[in-house]
Structure 1
Amino acid sequence: MLQLPLSIVFFFLGLLFGSFYIAVGLRVPKKESILPPPLHCPTCKQRLLPIELIPVVSYLLAKGRCKGCATAISPLYPVMEGLTGLGFVLVYLRYDLTWETLFGVLFVSLLAIITVADLAYRLIPNRVLLPFFLLFLVGRFFWPYGDASYAAHLIGMAAGFLLFFLLALITRGGVGGGDVKLFAVIGMFLSPPLLILTVFLSSAFGALYGLALLVSKRVTRKSMIPFGPFIALGAVTAYLYGSDINWYLAVY
């Protein structure tokens, strides 16, 4: 009976936090405060009204442009707000009101922030990764994921780091240092089987997107594409549906 009302609550919480996470992802890499003076248009400096701060709705009402100077507003804002809201809802529907739901919301939060930062600057900041890593390092000691042991989480962390550290050495810059550390954090959060699935899914998503861009001639083979968003997509897919996917792969 409470599932629909709580889903709505989680969605709106995701919208609100998603708006904040965009600010974090854009400001932390530039070493700016995440609690600045009243928000304003970066072009004309006009202060935003309260109605212009409503996630997604304000973008639609303004038709994607600043009311002061008519400068186009990046669609990154409504897209990430909506995806964060969706992520919060899916975590709740998957894990109900449990401690795992809290961890899941934190995991989605991390992935939202690093996606914004990587898209904007091709950078995954240590100042974002470290707090979440410490939360997961301590939290998984008390509440491991599913049937996994705490040792399994530590193994996942080490495996995620070492695998992508080796890939970074082999590709000589093809894999960034931020990606290496992100996979260590993901390995700490997930169990090793889901870490492996994350690697597979993120690689598949990234390859398909890159192929689509090549076919459409929007990039060349030497173009650099941020990998963070695909890691995020692969990780959240593995986290929410990994047991179902692993079961399917085992059958076929």
Structure 2
Amino acid sequence: MYPVMEVITGAFFVLAYQVFGLQLELIIALTLISLFSIITVSDLKYMIIPDKVLLFFAILFIVERLFKPLSPWWASLTGAALGFSLLLLIAIISKGGMGGGDIKLFTLIGFVLGVKGLLLSFFLATLLGAVVGIAGMLIGKFKKGEAIAFGPYICLGTILAYFYGEEIVQWYYSLYI
């Protein structure tokens, strides 16, 4: 798994440079990709998103957003609050169907992306997780009610939302106009 993740991480680093160029936002993108590489391996292998990893990256993102804040300045705070609240509500309603690591991760994602990016990230992560989960059940890889690692889908959905969010939203609107 590790060599594959190294190649994927490198590819995402190149993609981040293509999307953002040499701007401050590139540093945030590279930090996010680094976090997601760690989380993907940890969640797939151990079904856990470590608090120490999230705390370390939270400090980095706070510092980075001081130098490259979202507009308006409070967008990071409202994104974080919504990320926490939305996932906590889901965890309560589903009686533990969402792990604490997922809640904290979406809090961090909300801080980095803001509300719009967070909501698109959540939608894409849920869509990707559902498609893979259903396909896995159809081919017998997953059983109904069995826990699956949601972290990798959160990571991929967030990368798509962060890199291509505006394009995805414009494409979606074009379907109805």
Shared fold, TM over 0.5: yes
Residues 197 and 238 in structure 1, CA contact (< 8 A), matched pair in contact too: yes
Equivalent residue of 1:150, what SS?
coil
Q: Is the 8 A contact 1:153 1:191 kept in 2?
A: yes
| Deviation of 1:150 (Å) | 2.1
Q: CA deviation at 1:249?
A: 1.7
Structure-1 residue corresponding to 2:68: 143
Unaligned 5+ segments in structure 1 are 1-75
Q: Relative contact order (C-alpha < 8 Å, sep 6+): which is higher?
A: 2
Looking at structure 2, the residues matched to 171 and 182 of structure 1 have their Cα atoms a distance apart, in angstroms, of 18
Q: Corresponding residue for 2:154?
A: 231
TM-superposition CA deviations, 1:170-217 (whole Å, max 9, x none): 111110000000000000000211110000000000000001111101
Q: Is the 8 A contact 1:133 1:185 kept in 2?
A: yes
Equivalent residue in structure 2 for 1:246, among 137, 159, 169:
169
Shift of 1:81: 0.7
Contact 1:140/1:150, CA 8 A, preserved across alignment? no
Identify unmatched segments of 5+ residues in structure 2.
Answer: none
Equivalent position of 1:163 in the other structure = 86
Asked if residue 206 in structure 1 is aligned to residue 129 in structure 2, the reply is yes
> How many pairs does the alignment contain?
175
> Aligned to 2:146, what secondary structure does the other structure show?
coil
Question: Contact 1:167–1:175 (CA<8 Å) still a contact in 2?
Answer: yes
Instruction: For residue 251 of structure 1, report the CA deviation from its aligned partner.
Output: 2.4
User: Are residues 1:102 and 2:24 paired?
Assistant: no
Q: Which moved further from structure 2: 129-138 or 92-101?
A: 129-138
Mapped partners of 1:79, 1:141: distance in 2: 33
RMSD: 1.0
Matched, 1:194 2:96: no
Distance (whole Å) between structure 2 residues aligned to residue 78 and residue 172 of structure 1: 36
Task: Give 3-state SS (helix, strand or coil) of 2:147's partner.
Answer: coil
Match of 1:218 in 2: 141
- 1:87 Cα offset (Å): 0.7
TM-score by length of 2: 0.96
Q: CA deviation at 1:138?
A: 2.7
Q: Distance in 2 between matches of 1:103 and 1:218?
A: 36
Q: Quick check: 1:156–1:190 contact (8 Å CA) kept in 2?
A: yes
**Distance in 2 of aligned mates of 1:220 and 1:199:** 23
Which has more helix, going by share of residues?
Answer: 2
Q: Percent identity?
A: 43
After TM superposition, the score normalised by the length of structure 1 is: 0.68
Residue 141 of structure 1 and its aligned partner are, at CA, apart by: 2.7
Alpha-carbon distance in structure 2 between the residues aligned to 1:104 and 1:158: 21
Instruction: Kindly report structure 1 stretches of 4+ aligned residues shifted beyond 4 Å.
Output: none
1:224: how far off? Answer: 0.9
Q: Corresponding residue for 1:50? A: none
Post-superposition offset of 1:218: 1.7
